[in-house]
Chains A and B, each alone.
Chain A
Amino acid sequence: MTPSGLATLVVDDEEAIRESLAAWLIKDGYRVETADSGESAVERLADHLFDIYLVDIKMPGMDGLELLSRIKVRQPDALIIVITAHGTVQTAVDAMKRGANDYICKPFDPEELSLIMERLAATKALRDENVALREQLMDRLDVSLEGIVAQSRAMQNIFATIEEVAPAMTPVLIQGETGVGKELVARALHQDSERSAGPFVALNCGAQSESLLESELFGHERGAFTGALRARRGRLEMASGGTLFLDEIGDISPKMQVSLLRVLEEKRFQRLGGSQWIDTDFRLVSATHRDLVHLIRQGRFREDFFYRINVIRIEIPPLRDRLEDVAPLADHFLERYSRETGKRILGLTQRALGILTAYHWPGNVRELRNVMERAVVLARGQMIGAEELGFLDASGEPCRLGPMSLREMEIAHIQAALDTCGWNVSRAARQLGVDRATLTRKLKRYRLQRP
């Protein structure tokens, strides 16, 4: 453990002690300042904090114990070693009770001093690592919750519902098209629940074969089937004490629905190939883009299972039904990707925003995110303009009108361009990336006329 640059304050009224301790620490790579009294140490604290404090207990005026308490108030995670004289162990014990990390009797054994300092440096490094990890985690959560950046009334209502139902253990069914951010809502439910400290375990049921899904959920004992070389915990087990999020629940077979129903009712299950009952206690949040009621009518989804998972329903509207959310989401992604790519991009031009809000967004928020990522990569200037969105179908109409031929799409696209430009043919041609003559020819061929 290298102490490289840890800021250290040595507080001692005896100059010889102060100076030789400082000299020792400096040789070992610490940054060292000294103070000759508790009072001057406190003054120093007003200015800046240190990683490690070495404090003499016995000083005239403010003593080490008092200083220790003052430091702890100002900086609860301060690392403090108190320096005592031999025969004053009781004071050292008091100091430890008040939050000192260690104590050392002067004169110190050189090995002991090295050891204590190394231990502190290691503690500090570990703490820093934990802080970094936590920040990383929050970053990731922040990123994953970004789907919930929203202004629309519809989404505000969803936030309110999340807040209201999150604390309970009630199963929640989230309905919405692909890409609207169902997992983000599930995570938000978990975060706001009383089990937020527990695990959030997600599984996409649509992406797996029936047998794989079964062993993913229930786990298996060694030798339960060919290839089961060792026992494995399933998601039902891992989610205990937290939230189990099953995405694409509409895709699971009626047989699996029965198995899951039993787990939900009995709160226990057996691993594949196992005979032992394993208790589990999780909150189930499931999601689907399918119309489950329709599936029930077709006999493909069990009604009893549906009522079990559908206690509270949250429906996330598609992005095209809440276009007010497009601008804040676009800004959000723009900021994120310009940060990631190091490009300085200030925003979207009015026209670019127009294109985004006119678009149908079949892939919802996920598609918008991908579009913004691509636009940032393509961007040459400080603004994202229509040029950067050229790969996006600007008119948006084709999707609304359903399947069209290429010819129909071209007509609709030209029509849209002309509408946007108030039938200024030169400008519309520029926007479409063709010259005026070409556009005029097309207008004739498609018999497009100014309304």
Chain B
Amino acid sequence: MTTSLDPVPAQVEQGPAIALVRLIPLGPVDDLSCQVVAANLQALMDLAADILPPFPVLPDAFMEARRQYDAVQLINALARAFPGPTLGLGLIGSDIATPILTYVLGESQLGGRMAVVSTYRLTDAGGRRKLERLVKVSLHEMAHVLGLGHCWQPQCLMRSPRNVAQLDELPMAFCDTCQYEIARRVRNLVREIRSTPDRH
């Protein structure tokens, strides 16, 4: 996916590639999903990603009454477990929610470091759209982590989809403005990670 506004890849001007995102499977998540998400983070956002071994899901984050994981607590746990400037994206097969919402497809710290995406509600009958949806939600949440809010351009992944059907209508691309903003913030992130002495 290239647009006219695609900037110079952040890593080219600054030396050898380093991981900017840790992809963390929370419990069992299939390899293919992880690989496709990682590839798209690299291709569309210039975010090189490392796929980590599965990380145990915190039992504390499970809300007994709602039979769902609390996405906010998962994110907080990930932030504690993986300190440093590198970003993190947790992938989970279970249903997730927040204290105010009955469910979410993904959740993220706006301008923070961590996001979590659930595949639970993304599966469709034939299973063909699941990967595409997973990638869309992952890209959307990681853009939030970079500090981007929702976008009101009709053809932009940063539009806030109200449901899965609307998610399917979104293109697998950001609008020019969002794309530019992502590139700018990724460049800053690269600088920050390089200047951190003890990087993982």
A111-B100 in contact (CB<8A):
no
Give, as a whole number of angstroms, the nearest-CB distance from B148 to chain A: 9
* Docked CA distance A227–B103 (Å): 64
If over half of A's interface residues share one DSSP class (helix, strand or loop), that class is named, otherwise mixed; here it is helix
For window 22-36 of chain B, which residues contact chain A by CB distance below 8 Å? none
Q: B103 — which chain A residues lie within 8 A by C-beta?
A: 110
Interface centre among B72, B101, B149 (most CB of A within 10 A): B101
Give, as a whole number of angstroms, the nearest-CB distance from A23 to chain B: 6
Q: A107 — which chain B residues lie within 8 A by C-beta?
A: 66, 97-102
Interface status of A409 (Cβ within 8 A of chain B): no
If over half of B's interface residues share one DSSP class (helix, strand or loop), that class is named, otherwise mixed; here it is loop
Give, as a whole number of angstroms, the nearest-CB distance from A82 to chain B: 14
Give, as a whole number of angstroms, the nearest-CB distance from A115 to chain B: 8
* Docked CA distance A115–B163 (Å): 12
A20-B100 in contact (CB<8A):
yes
Q: B109 — which chain A residues lie within 8 A by C-beta?
A: 23
For window 24-79 of chain A, which residues contact chain B by CB distance below 8 Å? 24, 26-29
How many A residues have CB within 8 A of the partner chain? 22
How many B residues have CB within 8 A of the partner chain? 19
Q: B99 — which chain A residues lie within 8 A by C-beta?
A: 14, 16-17, 20, 107
Interface status of B150 (Cβ within 8 A of chain A): yes
A24-B150 in contact (CB<8A):
no
A114-B162 in contact (CB<8A):
yes
Q: B149 — which chain A residues lie within 8 A by C-beta?
A: 26-29
* Docked CA distance A28–B178 (Å): 14
Q: A110 — which chain B residues lie within 8 A by C-beta?
A: 101-104, 162-163
* Docked CA distance A111–B104 (Å): 10
A28-B150 in contact (CB<8A):
yes
Supposing A17-B100, A20-B98, A20-B100 touch, asked if A111 and B150 sit within 8 A by C-beta, the answer is no
A29-B150 in contact (CB<8A):
yes
Give, as a whole number of angstroms, the nearest-CB distance from B76 to chain A: 11
B162-A27 in contact (CB<8A):
no
* Docked CA distance A130–B103 (Å): 37
Interface status of A108 (Cβ within 8 A of chain B): yes
* Docked CA distance A192–B149 (Å): 51
Interface status of B144 (Cβ within 8 A of chain A): yes
Q: A113 — which chain B residues lie within 8 A by C-beta?
A: 100-101
Q: B162 — which chain A residues lie within 8 A by C-beta?
A: 110-111, 114-115
A27-B102 in contact (CB<8A):
no
Give, as a whole number of angstroms, the nearest-CB distance from A114 to chain B: 5
* Docked CA distance A109–B102 (Å): 5
A21-B100 in contact (CB<8A):
yes
* Docked CA distance A251–B100 (Å): 73
Q: A14 — which chain B residues lie within 8 A by C-beta?
A: 99
Tell which of B72, B150, B163 touches A27, judged by Cβ atoms closer than 8 Å: B150
* Docked CA distance A222–B57 (Å): 77
Interface status of B152 (Cβ within 8 A of chain A): yes
Q: B163 — which chain A residues lie within 8 A by C-beta?
A: 110-111
A24-B102 in contact (CB<8A):
no
Q: A29 — which chain B residues lie within 8 A by C-beta?
A: 149-150
User: What are 14 A-B pairs with beta-carbon distances under 8 A?
Assistant: A20-B100, A23-B109, A24-B101, A27-B110, A27-B149, A29-B149, A29-B150, A107-B98, A107-B100, A107-B101, A110-B102, A110-B103, A113-B101, A115-B162
Q: B interface vs A, CB < 8 Å?
A: 66, 72, 97-104, 109-110, 144, 149-150, 152, 160, 162-163
- 5 further A-B contacts with Cβ under 8 Å, apart from A107-B99, A110-B101, A110-B102, are A28-B149, A107-B100, A108-B101, A111-B163, A115-B162
Q: A interface vs B, CB < 8 Å?
A: 2, 14, 16-17, 19-21, 23-24, 26-29, 106-111, 113-115
The 9 closest A-B pairs by CB, nearest first: A16-B99, A20-B98, A111-B162, A2-B152, A20-B100, A20-B99, A107-B102, A110-B101, A21-B100
